[in-house]
Amino acid sequence: NTKAYKLFNPVTRKVIITRDVQFVENDAWDGSIEKTVNVAETSPHDDMADESIEKK
pLDDT in tens, the chain (56 residues): 678 999 888 778 899 898 888 888 888 777 776 666 666 655 544 444 555 555 55
Q: What is the Cα–Cα distance from 51 to 47, expressed in whole angstroms?
A: 13
Give the domain ranges of the chain.
Answer: 1-56
- Give the pLDDT confidence score for residue 15 in this predicted structure: 92
> What's the pLDDT at 39?
64
